[in-house]
């Protein structure tokens, strides 16, 4: 039986992190959207002032990876970190066209605030930011 | 008559007025009972060693202030997030102008400063949340080129509240 370990990421994990980011993006048909490089991940996550934190699920070999409870363990560790750091809740974004993801989270008690309260995610790209910054 | 406000970074002393405006905005959104923080929390989280947010305020020039009224006409509160696709981003949590000062371009001035701050820090995106019944806000953002990703790509805001977070630790 394979065992796994969820631990904080280290600088050496960055190539694997980028690989997994791209796999996730490809799953959502958005592989071209990933502009980040390994250097970006290193600089942003392992410099003097980290811009992000990352947990990694490490497995000893390439055994069967689903059904081991890795997802719930990552969520459990994230929840512990949230509580330890005085956070009251966790917010995140889900593409609801993906029913599997949606059910995964709602089964664990997550609420869809967009459906419940009407929140929409709006975004400005660099082009619009430049236009706003250059406005008189 | 348009008031020549000055958009500047918030100071710790502004937290009382910012807290008042946070409550006004929540009331406008009909979500008043969701405001759990206090002026003290705002001070600690914004002006401690590790600020969790940045805030811009629209200061009313002294000659236009009501004697017992506010010194601030509005605020824009934002923080930096991280996208695994594009890196550092800005998330605009709140932008608010008091009703009596609306319609004078103060909101535009605030968001312009937020855009400048975003670009200065090498951010490629600015994200925010809008309520689907807030027509004026939707128009404000769309007029500046914002895209509704909930409609376009199905992105929804999900939330584990405190009880759900504790439950996941117990399991």
ipTM: 0.92
Domain interval for residue A1: 1-63
Q: What is the pLDDT, as a whole number, of residue A98? A: 84
User: What global pTM score does this model have?
Assistant: 0.93
Phi, psi of A18 (to 5 degrees): -65, -40
Residue A2: its pLDDT value, please?
60
Looking at the structure of chain A, the number of domains it has is 1
The topology under which CATH files domain B6-128 is: Aminopeptidase (3.40.630)
**B87-136 confidence digits (pLDDT tens):** 999 999 999 999 999 999 999 999 999 999 999 999 989 999 999 999 99
Q: Can you read off the two tokens belonging to residue A46?
A: 């392992």
Q: What is the pLDDT of residue B76?
A: 98
Q: What is the pLDDT of residues A31-42, one digit of tens each?
A: 899 999 999 999
The Cα angle at residue B25 between residues B13 and A83, in degrees rounded to 5 = 75
CB contact under 8 A, A96 and B153: no
User: Could you tell me the pLDDT band of residue A56, with boundaries at 50, 70 and 90?
Assistant: very high
| pLDDT confidence tier of residue A92, bands split at 50, 70 and 90 | very high
Angle at B89 between CA A105 and CA A126, to 5 degrees: 125
Q: Which residues contact B66 (CB under 8 A, 6 or more apart)?
A: none
B166: Cα separation from own chain's centroid: 28
Mean pLDDT, chain A, integer: 92
**Is A88 a member of any domain?**
no
Residue A108 lies inside a defined structural domain of this protein: no
Return the residue matching tokens 């910054």.
A133
Residue A62 has pLDDT above 90, yes or no: no
Which chain A residue lies closest to B87 (C-alpha atoms)? A36
Across the interface, whether the CB atoms of A118 and B36 are under 8 A apart is answered no
- Per-residue pLDDT of A6-37, as tens digits, reads 999 999 999 999 999 999 999 888 889 999 99
Mean pLDDT of A46-73: 88
Instruction: Give backbone dihedrals phi and psi of B67, rounded to 5 degrees, phi first.
Output: -55, -40
pLDDT of the residue at B1: 61
Least confident of A63-67, A88-92, A116-120, B110-114: A63-67
- Chain A residues close to B84, C-beta within 8 Å: 21, 24, 34, 36
Q: Which of A21, A110, A129 sits opposite B119 (nearest CB)?
A: A129
- Tell me whether residue A78 is in a domain: no
Could you tell me which chain B residue has the CA closest to the CA of A135? Answer: B112
Cite the DSSP H helix spans in B86-161: 106-120, 135-143, 149-153
Mean pLDDT of the A63-70 span: 79
Look at residue A93 and tell me if it is in a domain.
no
Tell whether B154 is within 8 A of chain A (Cβ).
Answer: yes
Whether the CB-CB separation of B160 and A110 falls below 8 Å is answered with yes
The separation between the first and the last C-alpha atoms of chain A, rounded to the nearest angstrom, is: 65
| CATH number of the domain that residue A24 is part of | 3.40.630.30
Q: Flag whether A123 is in a domain.
A: no
Across the interface, of A72, A93, A124, the residue whose CB is closest to B125 is A124
Q: Is B111 on the interface with A (CB under 8 A)?
A: yes
> Is the Cβ of B32 closer than 8 Å to some Cβ of chain A?
no
pLDDT along chain B (171 residues), means of 10: 89 97 94 94 94 97 87 97 95 96 96 97 95 95 97 96 95 74
Q: In the predicted model, is pLDDT for residue A1 greater than 60? A: no
Is residue A3 in some structural domain?
Answer: yes
Answer yes or no: are the C-beta atoms of A21 and A34 closer than 8 Å.
Answer: yes
């Amino acid at each position: 039986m394979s065992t796994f370990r969820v631990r904080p990421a280290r600088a050496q994990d960055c190539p694997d992190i980028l690989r997994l980011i791209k796999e996730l993006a490809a799953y959502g048909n958005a592989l071209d959207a990933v502009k980040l490089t390994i250097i970006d991940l290193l600089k942003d996550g392992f410099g003097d002032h980290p811009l992000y934190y990352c947990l990694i699920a490490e497995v000893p070999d390439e055994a069967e990876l689903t059904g081991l409870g890795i997802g719930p363990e990552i969520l459990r560790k994230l929840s512990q970190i949230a509580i330890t750091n005085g956070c009251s809740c966790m917010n995140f974004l889900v593409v609801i066209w993906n029913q599997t993801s949606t059910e995964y989270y709602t089964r664990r008690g997550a609420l869809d605030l967009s459906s419940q309260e009407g929140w929409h995610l709006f975004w400005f790209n660099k082009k619009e930011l430049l236009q706003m910054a250059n406005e008189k | 008559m348009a008031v020549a406000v000055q958009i500047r970074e918030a100071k710790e002393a502004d937290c009382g007025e910012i807290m008042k405006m946070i409550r006004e905005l929540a009331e406008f959104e009909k979500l008043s009972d969701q405001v759990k923080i206090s002026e003290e929390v705002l001070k600690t989280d914004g002006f401690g060693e590790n600020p969790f947010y940045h805030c811009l305020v629209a200061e009313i020039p002294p000659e236009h202030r009501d004697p017992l009224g506010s010194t601030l006409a509005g605020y824009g509160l934002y923080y930096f997030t991280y996208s695994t696709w594009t890196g550092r981003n800005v998330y605009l949590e709140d932008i608010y102008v008091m009703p009596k000062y609306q319609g004078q371009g103060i909101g535009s001035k605030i968001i312009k400063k937020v855009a400048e701050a975003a670009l200065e820090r090498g951010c490629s995106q600015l994200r925010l949340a809008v309520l689907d019944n807030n027509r004026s806000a939707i128009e404000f953002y769309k007029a500046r080129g914002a895209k509704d990703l909930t409609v376009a790509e199905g992105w929804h805001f999900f939330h584990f509240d405190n009880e759900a977070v504790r439950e996941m630790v117990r399991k």
